A and B are shown apart, each in its own frame.
Chain A
Amino acid sequence: MAIAGYGGDPVDPLVVFNLVSALNPMIPDLTQLLQSLHVDADWIGLRAMREVSTRRSVRRQHPTHNGTRLDMGIMVEVVVDGQLGYGATNSFDRDDVQRAADQAHLQAIAARQWGLHACTTSVRPPVVGHYRSPCAKPLDVLTAGDVNDILLRLCRHLTVSSQVVQAIATAVTREIDIWLVSSSGSDVHQTLSVVEGHLSATAEDGAIIQQRSDHGYLAHSYQGGWECFLTDDLWARSQHIGEQAVELLTAEECPTLKTTLVLAPDQMMLQLHESVGHPLELDRILGDERNYAGGSFVKPQDFGRLAYGSPLMNVVFDPTIDGELASYQFDDIGAPAQRQYLIRSGTLERGLGSLESQERLRVRGVACARATSWNRPPIDRMANINLEPGSTPLPELIAQIDDGIYMETNRSWSIDDQRYKFQFGCEYAKRIEQGQITRTLRNPNYRATTPEFWHSLRLVGDRSTWQHYGTPLCGKGEPNQLIWVGHGSPVCAFEQVDVFGGGAA
């Protein structure tokens, strides 16, 4: 079969894998390994993964985590008579990989008469290329001691007064190598460099306890090097988090009312994720996910027709943004990744579905077959799902609101299995009165249904309000998988939303 090149610079696969073998003595030349396997299959592919991560964390001036993780393994996939089967092992020993291939073959045969959808090798396209995250300050420039010193300092900055009873600073680094080779000529190597950061302060005054964090748990997750963590505003930001935790102790409770809700980009991340990303996953619409996370209120016939939200709503799948957490050149089955509109001017255009799902549902999708590691099969996933900026500068947006509430930073999330009725809570809120931001509010929550909410989108902030964050903790799939996703959004205003505070419902 001919080898087609997509996207990235074509490279000589032998050069890549010789280099890989030299750098990773436990990872053999995968092309040779593939050729050495004996399997009676129509197609065979290897997806190898090696992840080296570190996690360092400090709480109240004392270390709580100093850990490194090496995870590596290989998944062998085969197609036999239109049925896929897989076998995965954490050993790169040739005999173990052969056993995994035998298992994959046996599984495909066992399932052949029960297959949900007969596939062809078109769902595993032949591709050659490579991708590497941008990285200015490589992950190894800081020693373990350096990182701990920084985290200790951050905890001191977070502890702005004796009312701050907990201060936590965490830094996670990951270097992830993913290789794909296949009998149809695929040869892909992608290297992701990731830095995740978390800061939080807990303030206490008697029975009142309030927490403030750095835009949510591990929301400061980006592709890149230490430059993503050591930003110019890091120290000021950490102090601000501590100050706001203390400020919340004496803030008013968020009132119960129907009002204009303004969401900061860090809460829009969660809003997009839960009420746009997940419902558009084609595997949910196909029913694969019904026994776990659920289905979707979106129907196959909705693509190209459904008015998902107000005409101000433009949502893209964009794996091309430098530094956003889920950027890549190819998904985990080799589909070349491109920016695509999911929702344009409020109308649903395209779903989040892999080549397999697109073939099954006959709906347009994107390159989003992703696996959390070598030991889980790729499934339909979000990558970077971003809301496009609008045209309203922030001062103008606030000035247009007579009565409203502005909320920042998710702290509670819950949505039903069809992604319809949701309730989300935030860490911090402000009252908006007669076009001005006024008092601070605590324990803010809001609830709505997805279509009603997105149709109530009235104002979308301009490019200057657009921020992107990430989360490494999106859970889905059977067997279960946690994966990393990125979300960017401007500040947005929604009309007539039910908001309420803590205590009584």
Chain B
Amino acid sequence: MMSTKADQLELVFRHLVTALGDRLHAHEHMSLELTGEQSQFVRFNRAKVRQIGTVSDGQVRLTLMADQRTGYYDLPLTGIWDQDWHHAQAALDTLRRELPQLPVDPYLVLPSGTANSGELYQGMIPAPRDVPDLVLAEVAGLDFAGLYAGGRVVRGYGDSVGQYHWFATDSFTLDYSLFTTDGQAVKGTYAGSHWQPNRYTARLDQAKQQLTRLAQPRKTVPAGSYRTYFAPAAIAELLSMFSWGGISEAALQRGDSAFRLLQTGEQRLSPLFTLSEDFSHGLVPRFNQLGDMTPVHVPLIVQGELVNTLVNARTAKEYGKVANGANGGETLRSPDLRPGNLLPDHVLSTLDTGLYVSNLHYLNWSDRPTGRITGMTRYACFWVEAGQMIAPIENLRFDESLYRCFGSHLVALTQTQDFVPEVGSYEHRDLGGMWVPGAIVDDFVYTL
């Protein structure tokens, strides 16, 4: 039933691309971008259901371009042609009325490619009626909180030069925490497109094991500098800052980026640090807002040196750069941080004495030009002495520069990567995730 509605959305979207294209005048261009989903959301608290429901949604952005001017109109796409065509016609009329009033946009880029694509990833996700049983039967007696989000997500693109893309995927994410009676917690995620009960059980077993380690008094660690192991989920939090005033070419050009010193060569990161966009995993669409297909592999930082920034066509036109298929916001969509040589079994012995940090929380730039970030440790974090986990810690605030953390003070990256799924759902369910190893960093600065 969920896929039926999504199929209906595709039919109507394809029809809309054609019908709007037929109505365009010779000097006009347009693009249509669709974001849609049929999702179930189940929120849990104390191993019970707090809120449960479904959402059927679709939103189309119609961008009209003419006479070096552009405007867009976002409208609902319901899959019912009469409703959707009514809104689309009204949107086109509004844009045609507005465009002549707008200033010329010198950096307008018209769609010009010839790309077409279609990807459908059918999955085996649980029937909505079964989700509470499937999730909660396994956590009886535990203090479990979190969110299950599952269903079909679609992304579409069509334009006036004949490019057309469709991406549909059945997927779920279960993002959860398990708590001890005194409020300490372990974080876990289980994501995919085929729900496999044994995998869920195995994930939970790992989390339960960590939970037992938390069942001892917390140690208060004073502010100071500590050698620290960051688990992959914590590294993913730090990497998320690359998408906010980081690796975007526009941000670099406009003085909004922490990586200007990296770009000018005044700073570099560790030779251990190699980051790229890698779309071979297939979890997110490769097409962008202009219908361009991003290369499957875009190296960004290679052995500590910035070799590419994320450049979309508009930025390229404004600053005389070469576009590499980046999205409108020039954010990471499918990042892969290469692993290193540290064997998972050697993490604690290599750390020796310091902090084992499972997660980080609420990061923000504290001084962007110097790459300094503040944030908090969160979830299962431990004090380690001589390679032994001694006690969970009271959460600490940090304030540290990326140039030190991923540069001069980066000791080692683990030999294995984890997939850290994207679980965000502002306006719509996000897709994809990050492939990241864990890392040991020397003298990481904690301030409160």
Interface string of B79-114 (1 = CB under 8 A from A): 110010011000100100010011111110000000
In the complex, chain B residues whose CB is within 8 Å of the CB of A207: 260, 369
> Cβ of A111 and Cβ of B52 under 8 Å apart?
yes
Given known contacts A106-B129, A111-B49, A70 and B70 CB-to-CB distance under 8 angstroms: no
Residue numbers in A under 8 Å from B45 (CB-CB): 116, 286-288, 290
Are B397 and A416 in touch, CB under 8 angstroms?
A: yes
Complex partner residue of A288 from B104, B132, B143, B145, CB under 8 angstroms: B145
A72 to B146, CA, bound (A): 28
Does A70 contact B132, Cβ atoms closer than 8 Å? Answer: no
Q: What residues on B are CB-neighbors of A104 within 8 Å?
A: 53-54
Say yes or no for B20: interface residue by CB 8 A criterion.
no
State whether B80 touches A93 (Cβ < 8 A).
yes
A480 interfacial contact with B, CB 8 Å: yes
In the assembly, what is the distance between CA of A469 and CA of B46, in Å? 37
| Min CB gap B59→A, angstroms | 7
Q: A62-B106, A85-B52, A291-B146 are in contact. Are A70 and B87 (CB under 8 A)?
A: yes
A115 within 8 A of B: yes
Asked if A361 is at the interface of the complex by the 8 Å CB criterion, the answer is no
B-binding segment of A143-151, A309-317, A430-438: A143-151
Q: How far is the CB of B317 from chain A (nearest CB, A)?
A: 11
Chain A residues lying within 8 Å of B426, measured Cβ to Cβ, are 475, 480-482
Cβ-based interface call for B299 (8 A): no
Interface magnitude class on chain B:
35 or more
- Closest CB-CB distance, A241 to chain B, in whole Å? 16
Stretch touching chain A among B154-162, B172-180, B199-207: B172-180
A185 part of interface (Cβ distance < 8 Å): no
Give the nearest-CB partner of A106 in chain B.
B129
Query: Do A62 and B103 contact each other (CB < 8 Å), given the known contacts A202-B255, A423-B447, A479-B147?
Result: yes
A96: chain B residues within 8 A (beta carbon): 56, 78, 80
Question: Please, which residues of chain A bring their CB within 8 A of the CB of B183?
Answer: 295
Q: Which residue from A87, A144, A202, A287 sits with its C-beta under 8 Å from B53?
A: A87
- Is the pair A144, B98 in contact by a Cβ cutoff of 8 Å? yes
For residue A70, give the distance in angstroms from its CB to the closest CB of chain B.
5
With the chains together, A143 CA to B101 CA distance in Å?
A: 8
In the complex, the answer to whether B53 meets A70 with C-beta atoms within 8 Å is: no
- A310 to chain B minimum Cβ distance, whole angstroms, is 21
Question: Does the CB pair B128–A91 fall under 8 Å?
Answer: no
Assess whether A88 is in contact with B55, with CB atoms less than 8 Å apart.
yes
Task: Report A242 CB to chain B, min CB distance, Å.
Answer: 15
Which residues 408-430 of A have a CB within 8 angstroms of B?
412-418, 421, 423, 425
* Closest beta carbon of chain A to B20's beta carbon, Å: 16
Report the separation of the CA atoms of residues A457 and B126 in the bound assembly, to the nearest whole angstrom.
53
A144 contacts B255, CB within 8 Å? no
Instruction: Tell whether, in the assembled complex, residue A62 and residue B107 are in contact, meaning their CB atoms are under 8 Å apart.
Output: yes
**Beta-carbon contact of B80 and A417 below 8 Å:** no
Stretch in contact with the other chain, from B190-198, B281-289, B304-312, B359-367: B359-367
Number of inter-chain CB pairs below 8 Å = 268
- The residue on B at minimum CB distance from A59 is B254
Chain A residues contacting B374 (CB-CB under 8 Å) are 412, 414, 423
Task: List the A side residues contacting B76 at CB < 8 Å.
Answer: 70-73, 90-91
Q: B171 in the interface, Cβ–Cβ < 8 Å?
A: no
Known: A62-B105, A68-B94, A145-B102. A425 touches B366 (CB 8 A): yes
Among A93, A152, A414, A449, max chain B CB count under 10 A is at: A414
Q: Are A209 and B58 in contact (CB under 8 A)?
A: no
Chain A nearest Cβ from B371, distance in angstroms: 11
Within 8 A of A (CB), among B366-393: 366-367, 369-370, 372, 374-376, 378
Interface residue A462 (Cβ < 8 Å from any Cβ of B): no
B333 at the interface (CB under 8 A from A): no
Q: Evaluate contact between A109 and B129: CB separation under 8 angstroms.
A: yes
In whole angstroms, what is the CA distance A208 to B70 when docked?
34
Chain B minimum-CB-distance residue to A145: B101
Instruction: Name the contact of A90 in the complex, choosing from B78, B86, B136, B376 (C-beta under 8 A).
Output: B78
Q: How large is the interface on A (under 10, 10 to 19, 20 to 34, 35 or more residues)?
A: 35 or more
**B80, B177, B364 pick with most chain A CB within 10 angstroms:** B364
User: Does A103 belong to the interface (CB within 8 Å)?
Assistant: yes
Q: Is there contact, CB below 8 Å, between A414 and B363?
A: yes
Closest residue of A by beta carbon distance from B70: A66
Are B51 and A377 in contact (CB-based, < 8 A)? yes
Contacts of B147 on A, CB cut-off 8 Å?
291-292, 478-479
CB-defined contacts of B395 to chain A, threshold 8 Å: 416-418, 421
Q: With an 8 A cutoff between CB atoms, is A26 at the interface?
A: yes
Contact A67 B72 (CB under 8 A): yes
Cα–Cα, bound, A169→B146 (Å): 39
Whether, in the assembled complex, A471 has its beta carbon less than 8 Å from a beta carbon of chain B, the answer is no
When chains A and B are docked, how far (Å) is the Cα of A413 from the Cα of B102?
36
Q: Does B73 contact A (CB under 8 A)?
A: yes
Nearest CB in chain A: distance from B57 CB, A: 5
Q: Flag if A480 contacts B424 (CB, 8 Å).
A: yes
Q: Which residues of B contact A347 (CB under 8 A)?
A: none
Of all chain A residues, the one with the shortest Cβ separation from B183 is A295
Provide the bound-state CA to CA distance between A144 and B50, in Å: 44
Q: Is the CB of A115 within 8 A of B48?
A: yes
Chain B residues near A84: list those with CB within 8 A: 51-52
Contact between chains at B83 and A26 (CB < 8 Å): yes
Tell me which residues from 128 to 149 in chain B have a Cβ below 8 Å from any Cβ of chain A: 128-133, 136, 143, 145-147, 149
Return the chain A residue nearest B131 by Cβ.
A110
Does A15 touch B at the CB level, under 8 Å? no
Choose one: B74, B91, B372; the contact of A502 (CB below 8 Å): B372
Question: Quick check: A69 and B74 within 8 Å, CB to CB?
Answer: yes
Closest to B378 in A: A417
Other-chain contact of A107, B54, B73, B378 (Cβ < 8 Å): B54
Task: Please indicate the chain B residues that have their CB under 8 angstroms from the CB of A421 in the complex.
Answer: 376, 395, 397, 448
**Do A86 and B399 have beta carbons less than 8 Å apart?**
no
Known contacts A108-B52, A114-B48; 7 additional CB pairs below 8 A are A69-B73, A93-B80, A165-B255, A288-B50, A447-B397, A480-B426, A502-B370
Which 3 residue pairs are nearest across A and B when measured between Cβ atoms? Answer: A145-B101, A86-B53, A502-B367
Pairs A–B under 8 Å by Cβ, sample size 5:
A67-B73, A87-B56, A91-B80, A110-B130, A116-B49
Residues of A at under 8 Å CB distance from B?
25-26, 58, 62-63, 66-73, 75, 83-93, 96, 99-100, 103-104, 106-111, 113-116, 143-145, 148, 152, 165-166, 202, 204, 207-209, 211, 286-288, 290-292, 294-295, 375-377, 379, 412-418, 421, 423, 425, 443, 445, 447, 449, 475, 478-482, 502-503, 505
